[in-house]
Structure 1
Amino acid sequence: MNLSVYLAGEIHSSWRDEIKQLTSDLPITCFSPMENHERSDNIGEEILGSQPNAIAKDEAASSLNNLRTQVLLQKSDVVIALFGESYKQWNTAMDASTAVALGKPLILIRPDTLHHALKELSNKAQVVVETPQQAVAALSYIFESE
């Protein structure tokens, strides 16, 4: 059995690399949002052409990023969503709530300091952990036979 795992969360740190390294011995394929921030911001104009203003540029990019995310979330067996303390994480919240709406199992990584802010979403997740290592341990448990 191979699991497809969508890694939702901020794109500014190396947490995805850590998960990929920790799962390298497991039959797991990882997907993620576009991690090249500049490409993500400009994809609308790359595909649809120049936009008349910054709002239209954002809307064009958003439609294409949402297409990518929707396809990859639907292909995934499990979603891991990381909430850290350094960045505003509206996209992470949207991806995690979409996973819940699609019935995808959700592993939520968040520090205790975000407990209150994420209490409703945490309650919808299958597992809530504090570190990527704990998230990988939860994935590893899926493959245990005894």
Structure 2
Amino acid sequence: MKLMIYLAGQIHDSWREDLRNKAGEMKLNVDFSAPMENHDRSDQIGEEILGQQPNAVLKDEAASAINNLRTKVLLNKADLVIAKFGESYKQWNTAVDAGEAVAMGKPLILIRPEKLHHALKELSNKAQVVVETEEQALQTIKYIFESE
């Protein structure tokens, strides 16, 4: 059995690459998908496909529509979602993706530091597992594959 895992969370650092590398080292039978990790491409895709927009709001709306379509397709294909909340960036997209995963009935592992517990308490309550590190998330996934 191979699992498809969607990695929701901010795109400004290498957490996904680190997690993918650790999963490879652990020889987990998984594939990953994620939001567009190239921030500029994500912001420009609306105008690239639909053409120049008359203002910044409509530019964002066009990009958002295409990014939301991409996310919905990838979430639909996911067996499991990992949503990582960190302290460095505002996490609105992470919250939207995690909420959509819950609404779709996708199993959710939430990664968040303890200090964000209160802010994320309702979402944490909807997740199947809440951990503080990527390593703990991967150990949880590893357990899925254990037979004894």
Hey, what does 1:70 align to over in structure 2? 72
> What are structure 2's unaligned runs of at least 5 residues?
none
Aligned-residue identity in percent? 69
**1:4-59 deviation per Cα after TM superposition (whole angstroms, max 9, x unaligned):** 00000000111101110111111100000000000000000000011011000000
Matches within 5 A, 1:1-12: 1-12=1-12
Hey, what does 1:20 align to over in structure 2? 20
Hey, what does 1:41 align to over in structure 2? 43
Q: Does 1:111 align with 2:116?
A: no
Hey, what does 1:81 align to over in structure 2? 83
Q: What SS does the aligned partner of 2:5 have?
A: strand
Q: What SS does the aligned partner of 1:120 have?
A: helix
Aligned partners of 1:71, 1:79: CA distance in 2, in Å?
13
Aligned partners of 1:59, 1:142: CA distance in 2, in Å?
39
Equivalent of residue 125 in structure 1, options 124, 127, 136: 127
**1:89-138 deviation per Cα after TM superposition (whole angstroms, max 9, x unaligned):** 00000000000000000000000000000000000000000000000000
Aligned partners of 1:26, 1:129: CA distance in 2, in Å?
18
Moved over 6 A (4+): none
Q: Normalising by structure 2, what TM-score?
A: 0.98
Aligned partners of 1:26, 1:107: CA distance in 2, in Å?
16
Cα RMSD (Å)? 0.4
Q: What SS does the aligned partner of 2:89 have?
A: coil
Aligned partners of 1:124, 1:49: CA distance in 2, in Å?
39
Number of residue-to-residue matches in the alignment: 146
Q: Does 1:145 align with 2:137?
A: no
Range moving further from structure 2, 90-99 or 16-25: 16-25
Aligned partners of 2:29, 2:115: CA distance in 1, in Å?
33
Aligned partners of 2:84, 2:13: CA distance in 1, in Å?
11
